[in-house]
């Protein structure tokens, strides 16, 4: 007998969904910003976006929804990072409280995004991308 997981997952508010979306879409943007050349940032962004779309479970369903109110704007990579790092920590805290079984899935999704984005270049990730991956990981662990 198949189990309908749609009925067993916790309901998230629009604001909670936006937090998860901000974190994941923001990671894609941060990875693109870490390698700012026009071609390389496009490659990173496309690879990260494809990885984002492969998410499964509750996290995947939330990320597949249209992100209403998503605002990653800012005057600099530092502004973007402040917003995204906070959303990463808030997402983990939120999932620990509402869907503890999804915490590992969320972390794996973010790791898949960073891995895909950093592998989008010949020769592997540069120092700025490597540093960004470490900062993203630290933000996830802070929660």
Question: How many distinct structural domains can be found in the chain?
Answer: 1
**Is residue 1, in this structure, part of any structural domain at all?**
no
Domain that holds residue 107: 12-62+76-141
- Tokens coding 136: 């993203």
Cα 21 from Cα 91, distance rounded (Å):
9
- Beta carbons within 8 Å of 134's beta carbon, 6+ residues apart: none
Which tens digit of pLDDT belongs to each residue from 116-135? 888 776 667 788 889 999 99
Q: Is residue 25 part of a domain?
A: yes
pLDDT (tens digit, 9 = 90+) per residue, 5-57? 444 557 899 999 999 999 999 999 898 888 766 666 777 777 878 888 889 99
Q: List Cα–Cα distances, 132 to 17, 30, 58, 105, in angstroms.
A: 24, 7, 26, 20
SS3 state at 51: helix
In this structure, is residue 6 part of a structural domain? Answer: no
**pTM for the complete prediction?**
0.87
Nearest residue to 109 (alpha-carbon basis) of 60, 46, 42, 143: 60
């Amino acid at each position: 007998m198949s189990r309908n997981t749609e009925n067993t997952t916790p309901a998230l508010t629009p604001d909670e969904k936006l937090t998860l979306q901000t974190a994941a879409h923001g990671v894609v943007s941060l990875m693109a910003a870490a390698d700012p050349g026009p071609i390389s940032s496009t490659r990173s962004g496309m690879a990260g976006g494809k990885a984002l779309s492969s998410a499964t479970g509750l996290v995947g369903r939330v990320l597949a929804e249209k992100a209403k109110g998503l605002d990653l704007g800012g005057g600099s990579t530092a502004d973007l990072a402040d917003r995204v790092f906070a959303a990463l920590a808030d997402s983990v805290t939120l999932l620990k409280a509402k869907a503890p079984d999804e915490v590992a899935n969320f972390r794996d999704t973010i790791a898949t995004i960073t891995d895909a984005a950093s592998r989008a270049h010949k020769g592997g990730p540069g120092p700025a991308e490597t540093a960004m991956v470490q900062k993203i990981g630290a933000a996830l662990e802070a929660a």
